[in-house]
Amino acid sequence: MISSARALMEQLLDYAGLFPPAALPLEQAIRNYAAYRDGRDAWMLGRFIIPSAQLEKLSPYMPMFSGDRPLLLSVLGTRSRDAEECLQLLDDTLRQTEAFRGKHGSSVNIDVLELPLPPSDADRRLLDEIAAGASEHGLRLFFEWTFPLNGDWGNRIEEALDAVKYCASHGGMQPGVKLRTGGITSDAFPSPEQVAAVLVGCRDRQLALKFTAGLHHPVRMYREEVKTEMHGFLNVFVAGMLAHVYKLDRDKTAEILADKDPDSFVFLPDALGWRTLTVSADEVRRLRNLALCSYGSCSFDEPRDELRELKSIA
């Protein structure tokens, strides 16, 4: 695979086979992950995403992993109704994480926590307590905001990003933001303008982003199974990188996100981009590490295979 594509795809795909629409049984999902890890495209594979409450159920499958080839996990916290319940559930998540680490030692590496927040406005005290707990346990934290995409979403997301930035400024491990880019129904998909608001907002606040849901295909397209246009992972990551490099505003970023023409996305030997705007492979690697980390997908094969079919980059 050419250098620019490899820079984009390296450890890009966190495997979320437990979640819809795949919704696989745990045994099948973890065996799939182990097979991908041992396959020729293992370098594209990131972490296995698992709810904290299911961690112990992984124990029977841990002989597939070792200190030389550990199981890489991103732990997903439980949704909560309010701040009090959120902190109670966080305590459970941290306890379950430490118990699993203690049981399996170097055969497991749990280094990321993805935490859905209560569907309320930003509570800086709550974020500070969560961040302190995650940092104490050596977990890189990504906050997921769960308020609805309609109504006063724009103002609420700006306040939310400000709260994460304020939280990040208190030292320790800097929290990031997790953006849900789809689901199994049309109302779960944010618009290009909404995704652009988060990409630009996180860039301006120097917050890292990861994504989940709806990014099975490289380029934006209409899909009958959800009766709406699904975001493309090329659109999202290329738009985010170009927004960083060229200081793009929301409108230009949204234009890239909305583009359904595969020919608009360019892979050169040592750069990638959109139309005439390009990012070097070295800059792609830097931004992947610092700003645009990965995305969760219930399929590993689909995005990988479709990208290869779409672009001659293998």
Q: What pLDDT band is residue 313 in, cutting at 50, 70 and 90?
A: low
The first and second tokens of residue 279, run together, are 């990012």
CATH of 5-306, one of 1.10.3720.10, 3.40.50.2300, 3.30.830.10, 3.20.20.70: 3.20.20.70
CA distance 285 to 162: 26
Percent of the chain with pLDDT over 90: 93
pLDDT at 195 over 60: yes
CA distance 277 to 242: 7
Degrees, nearest 5: CA angle 264-268-274: 25
The predicted-structure confidence for 93-142, as pLDDT tens digits, reads as follows 999 999 999 999 999 999 999 999 999 888 999 999 999 999 999 999 99
The first and second tokens of residue 162, run together, are 């400000």
Residue with tokens 């709806």: 214
Q: Are 236 and 195 in contact (CB under 8 A)?
A: yes
Collect all residues with Cβ–Cβ distance below 8 Å to 169 and sequence separation of at least 6. none
| pTM of the predicted model as reported, rounded to 2 decimal places | 0.96
Percent of the chain with pLDDT over 70: 99
The predicted-structure confidence for 45-55, as pLDDT tens digits, reads as follows 999 999 999 99
